[in-house]
Amino acid sequence: MPRPRSTLVSLDATPYYHCTSRCVRRAFLCGEDSHSGHSFEHRRQWIEDRLLELAGIYAIDIAAYAVMSNHYHVVLHVDREQGLAWSDAEVIERWHRLFRGNLLSQRYSRGETLDRAEQQVLAEVVAKWRERLISISWFMRCINEPVAREANREDDVTGRFWEGRYTSQALLDEKALATCMVYVDLNPIRAQMATTPEASNHTSIQRRIATARHVQLPNHKVQQPEQLLPFAGNPRESMPAGLPFRLTDYIELVDWSGRILREDKKGAIPEDIPEILQRLQLDTRHWCYLNRHFEHPFKRLVGAAHHVRSACETIGQRWVHGISQCERLFSSG
């Protein structure tokens, strides 16, 4: 029986989550359907455009994404503090960019005066909207529902386009975060849809590399893609908001891992191990295995075993599938 989302997403445990949605009924997001001969490549752009649009509305940042033939991956960072800091007016403005709101919110947006009772009712509604703008479930819903409606209209069918629920994995530490992001960014190479990260269409790594090539300081936050969570550099005191790595180190890691995937080196690991991988203290053979199989060993919680046990206590769970794999695969090399 599926667990309620409240037991799968706990911001007290981590703000980072890897989410995946998959199509049903032989549905395609992109590529060519060999049975019908129809191409659905344009649907990948639907997903990418919607992801980047929602990142500017929700208190949720995109760390990595990849849109594939019949599914997509996205690594999300929930910025709850940002959402709680928004004024009621800002919450209403953001909600109206997605939905019509209600009569009171529309009157408020037009500058009309509300009496005390109306203000109280609106405040209660805004509190609900605020929570939704911090919710991964609502974020994924606002991606999937419009795409499903448009795809069904295009296919002239009714019924489900997506599987019942998206899947999510909580990324509990830097090791899990870096491993998952690289796994997502290398999806097109692993599926032989591209040969290099920069040629991997509809991925975050392609967008990051394209921007880095045209700026003088690629590791500076303000010179990274606005729609993506920036790389803030290696962890230190007074750490700014952002991913705890340097962008250039991460790109090197993705390129290095991609070359291993392309060359299908079984047991032959290059000696020039990227600095970021050494800092994370991950066994290189475990790293290469996870580049291919990140989703399979773990179900809901990913990270070093002691972080998984701590998260279990936080969410009131006694045991979680895959903890022995966490013990083995996220051990130091």
Return the number of other C-beta atoms located less than 10 Å from residue 217's C-beta: 11
- Could you tell me how far CA 173 lies from the centroid of its own chain? 15
Torsions phi, psi for 280 (to 5 deg): -75, -15
Torsions phi, psi for 259 (to 5 deg): -65, -35
What is the set of domains in the chain, with CATH numbers? 15-80+136-170 (3.30.70.1290), 87-132 (no CATH), 173-296 (no CATH)
Q: List the pLDDT tens digit at each of the 333 positions of the chain.
A: 455 555 556 787 899 999 999 988 666 776 667 777 778 888 899 999 999 999 999 999 999 999 998 899 999 999 999 999 999 999 999 999 999 999 999 999 999 999 999 999 999 999 999 999 999 999 999 999 999 999 888 888 888 888 878 999 999 999 999 999 999 999 999 888 888 899 999 999 999 999 998 888 888 888 899 999 999 887 776 667 899 999 999 999 999 888 887 766 444 445 577 888 888 888 888 888 888 888 878 878 898 888 888 888 887 777 677 788 888 888 654
Any idea what DSSP says for residue 159?
S
Return the number of other C-beta atoms located less than 10 Å from residue 330's C-beta: 27
Q: Under a CB-based contact definition with an 8 Å cutoff, are residues 178 and 78 in contact?
A: no
For tokens 């997509």, what's the residue? 72
Measure the CA–CA gap between 243 and 5, rounded to whole angstroms.
Answer: 25
The pTM for the full model equals 0.89
Q: Under a CB-based contact definition with an 8 Å cutoff, are residues 298 and 326 in contact?
A: yes
